[in-house]
Amino acid sequence: MRIVHVEDFFHPDAGYQVNLLAKYMAKNGNEVYVITAQLDKMPDYLTKFFGKENIEGRDREYEDITGVSIIRLPFKHYISGRVIWNKDKLFSKIDSIEPDIVYTHGNDTYTSMVLLNRCTQKKIPVITDSHMVDIASNNKFRDVFRLYYRHFVTPIITKNNITVIRTADTDYIEKYFNIPLANCPIISFGSDLLLFHPDKDARRTGRKHLDIGEDDFVFIYAGKLDEEKGGKLLASAIQDTFEGTNRKVVFLIIGNTVGEYGNDVKKIFERSKNRIIRIPTQAYVNLAQYYQLADAAIFPKQCSLSFYDVHACGLPVIFEDNSINKSRAVSNDAILFRAGSEDDLRKKIRDMLNMSESYYEVMSKNGLRLVQENYSYQIIYESYMREIDKTMKYHNSLNH
């Protein structure tokens, strides 16, 4: 099958949904393309984490490894988190590929809104997805946008029976866009188990390289160190030593600090009385070696897709008690702390340090089993393909 993904922002070094899903689609014999925006006019807050130096070479490396073709197109503007395309160039490129189906990512992007309308007019099978949850919706024009969407976009979706895949168990798109949930299956994020899995040899090698003792307890955080991800909260919580435990603790922090906020985070790290090892931002494919040497992961605010990757390496998780995390922490594989509370985060770190080895092993195995049985990207790929097959059959029934 020839599948075209259209995604506003794509970086070959990231571990986002489109990176992994496209990879597994190609791995399973499909012809896969990712059409995305050029990075030169993208805002710095999107590109600074992974960088845009030698992006052509990095694109080619991703293509060589995965078999996916990346096509970057110029665009007119980037407004309110959305790429505004030259529609003629976008449409022309899609038409030249002659896809069996178009997967436009993010149902509420400008890209998806124009493509849902255009694909239905041209009788091209199309699906989309929704990544939105209430806690992430904070644009000041959101009420106006939701009204527009309900009146002009939702009718296209409902009339043409377009599938909107939800990546989280939330009624957001029904509540705000009036899209019936009956045609909005839930397919979660997951982990690439070809990369992420427990590895005792990698654990020994990695610890030796970083001069970490075999019995040291290593907490790891990998990601942005900005306000949105709780950089200062993490830095402040691990500034003082953890009394009442005999474990030697090490904090492995992977990620760059940027701007004034980042400088504040860096200064707090430098004042810490604990051992902190700082490593620059890493490409997704390089993260496994660090997760494999650690004992547990911390997510100080929100929770990234890395949740599944660290679990796949056998790491229990400490993260805030928001609604999404509560739904993830049902298998006795994670510890919740009170959101925004430095004291409670410190308490939960101390609790894990004092945890019995047997209970720690239970948490570790539970997280690993959860991902292996439910969140492997091979399983997720198969779920997506079932939805694509349904879309194709519906489309064919209308045109034959």
**pLDDT of 234:** 97
User: How would you label 346-367 residue by residue, b for 16+ Cβ within 10 Å and e otherwise?
Assistant: bbbbbebbebeeeebeebbebb
Give the pLDDT score at 397.
Answer: 87
Question: How do residues 340-399 score in pLDDT, each as one tens digit?
Answer: 999 999 999 999 999 999 999 999 999 999 999 999 999 999 999 999 999 999 988 887
Read off the amino acid at residue 174: E
**358 membership: H or E segment, kind and range:** helix 357-374
Confidence of residue 329 (pLDDT cuts 50, 70, 90): confident
Do 171 and 207 belong to one domain? no
Which residue(s) pair with 253 in the sheet? 221, 278
Let me know whether 107 and 44 are in one domain.
yes
Q: What is the tens place of the pLDDT at every residue in 297-323?
A: 999 998 777 899 999 999 999 999 988
Residue-wise pLDDT tens digits, 222-231: 999 999 999 9
One DSSP character per residue, 126-195 reads EEEEE---GGG---TTHHHHHHHHHHHTHHHHHHTT--EEESSS--HHHHHH---GGG--B----B-TTT
The CA dihedral of 227, 230, 232, 235, to the nearest 10 degrees, is -150
Q: Is 129 within 8 Å of 167 (Cβ atoms)?
A: yes
Residues in the chain: 400
Instruction: Confirm whether 195 is domain-assigned.
Output: no
Is residue 137 over pLDDT 70?
Answer: no
Token digits of residue 128: 């989309």
Question: Which pLDDT value is given to residue 1?
Answer: 95
Dihedral sign from CA coordinates of 62, 205, 309, 294: negative
pLDDT for the residue numbered 139: 62
- Read off the tokens for 75: 């665009």
The domain that holds 360 is classified in CATH as 3.40.50.2000
- The answer to whether residues 10 and 52 touch, using CB atoms and an 8 Å cutoff, is no
Q: Which of 143, 185, 149 is nearest to 168 (CA)?
A: 185
**Of the candidates 252, 248, 244, the residue with the CA atom closest to the CA atom of residue 215:** 248
> Three-state SS for 14?
coil
Q: Are residues 186 and 230 in the same domain?
A: no
Q: How many CB atoms lie within 10 A of CB 228?
A: 11
Residues 352, 250: one domain? yes
| Residues 317 and 387 occupy one common structural domain | no
Are residue 184 and residue 237 in the same domain, yes or no?
no
Same domain, 277 and 328: yes
Distance from C-alpha of 199 to C-alpha of 221, rounded to nearest angstrom: 19
Mean pLDDT of the chain: 93
- The closest alpha carbon to 216, from 256, 248, 170, belongs to 248
Per the listing, tokens 């494999």 go with: 292
Nearest of 128, 182, 179 to residue 158 by alpha carbon: 179
Tell me, yes or no, whether 7 lies in a domain.
yes
Mean pLDDT of 144-163: 95
Instruction: Indicate whether 245 belongs to any domain.
Output: yes
The DSSP letter of residue 49 is T
Residue 49 has what pLDDT?
78
Q: Are residues 124 and 236 located together in one domain of the fold?
A: no
Tally of structural domains, the chain: 2
Range of the domain at 180: 2-190+376-398
Other Cβ atoms less than 10 A from the Cβ of 343: the count is 10
**Residue 337: inside a domain:** yes
Do residues 315 and 346 both lie within one domain? yes
In a domain, 354, yes or no: yes
**Residue 226, in any domain of the structure:** yes
Could you tell me if residue 20 is inside a domain? yes
Q: Quick check: is 283 in a domain?
A: yes
Q: What is the pLDDT of residue 326?
A: 87
d(CA 73, CA 59): 13
Residue 140 sits in the same domain as residue 272: no
User: How much is the average pLDDT of 199-204?
Assistant: 97
The residue type found at 240 is D
- Three-state secondary structure call for residue 186: strand
Cα 239 from chain centroid? 28
Q: Are strands 75-79 and 82-85 parallel, antiparallel or unpaired?
A: antiparallel
Distance between CA atoms of residues 89 and 388, nearest Å: 25
Mark whether 211 and 328 lie in a shared domain.
yes
Residues 390 and 360 occupy one common structural domain: no
How far is 228 from 258, CA to CA, in rounded Å? 13
pLDDT at 138: 58
Residues 12-49 have pLDDT tens digits of 999 899 999 999 999 999 999 999 999 888 888 778 77
The fraction of the chain above a pLDDT of 70, given in percent, is 98
